[in-house]
Amino acid sequence: MSVGLVAGKRFPAKDLVPYVVAQVAGAVAAAAILYVIASGAAGFDLSKGFASNGYGAHSPGGYSPLACFLAEVVLTAFFLLIIMGSTDSRAPQGFAPIAIGLRLTLIHLIGIPVTNLSVNPARSTGPALFVGGWALAQLWMFWIAPIIAGALGGAAYQALFGERTAVLVTPKSIALDGKVPVQP
């Protein structure tokens, strides 16, 4: 997604690498916490996947690699379009969380049976590090597909609606109340 926000001119490219590193670190920490909690239950079996993303035999529905790749790209690209549109300075203010939350729910209802959809490479990495083996071997798809989708979604939004709609988000631009000020 962060690549998409860069492509959509909503996030400075110079901040991309530190942002991705922070996301991956956070995802690994979250997976560690979930692992400690889940492993406290009788019958916990890490080999069942721990919500790792997968294709083929490791897809929840047994979908092929091509089907999983397309699902990840299309669902993530459309998710980014919803994010870009609902946070556009021309969109009604205050409704972005509703649009984004509903879209995220929809894509997960569609995508979880296909790949355990995450739309975020960092989220995919956390559980894969704990599962190892097949989850790490298939992790490439869950980095490449969202990066491609983000670039496509961000570029498509810019092509359709133009640069003048951008609201640049940087760590310094977010107020203490969590609101992002609208820029002209």
pLDDT in tens, 153-170: 988 998 898 765 445 555
Inform me whether the pLDDT recorded for 119 exceeds 80: yes
CA atoms within 13 A on the CB side of 88: 19
- Alpha carbon 79 to chain centroid distance? 9
Q: Which two tokens stand for residue 65?
A: 């690699």
Query: What are the start-end ranges of the H helices in 116-175?
Result: 121-131, 133-138, 141-161
pLDDT of residue 148: 94
Inform me whether the pLDDT recorded for 75 exceeds 80: yes
Q: What is the dihedral of CA 135, 136, 142, 145, to 10 degrees?
A: -120
Q: Which of the four pLDDT bands, split at 50, 70 and 90, describes residue 30?
A: very high
Distance CA 59, CA 85 (A): 31
What residues contact 101, with CB distance under 8 A and at least 6 apart?
A: none
Answer yes or no: are the C-beta atoms of 56 and 62 closer than 8 Å.
yes
Q: Which two tokens stand for residue 24?
A: 């991956």
Q: Give the CATH fold of the 2-32+51-173 domain.
A: Glycerol uptake facilitator protein (1.20.1080)
Inform me whether the pLDDT recorded for 27 exceeds 70: yes
pTM of the prediction? 0.80
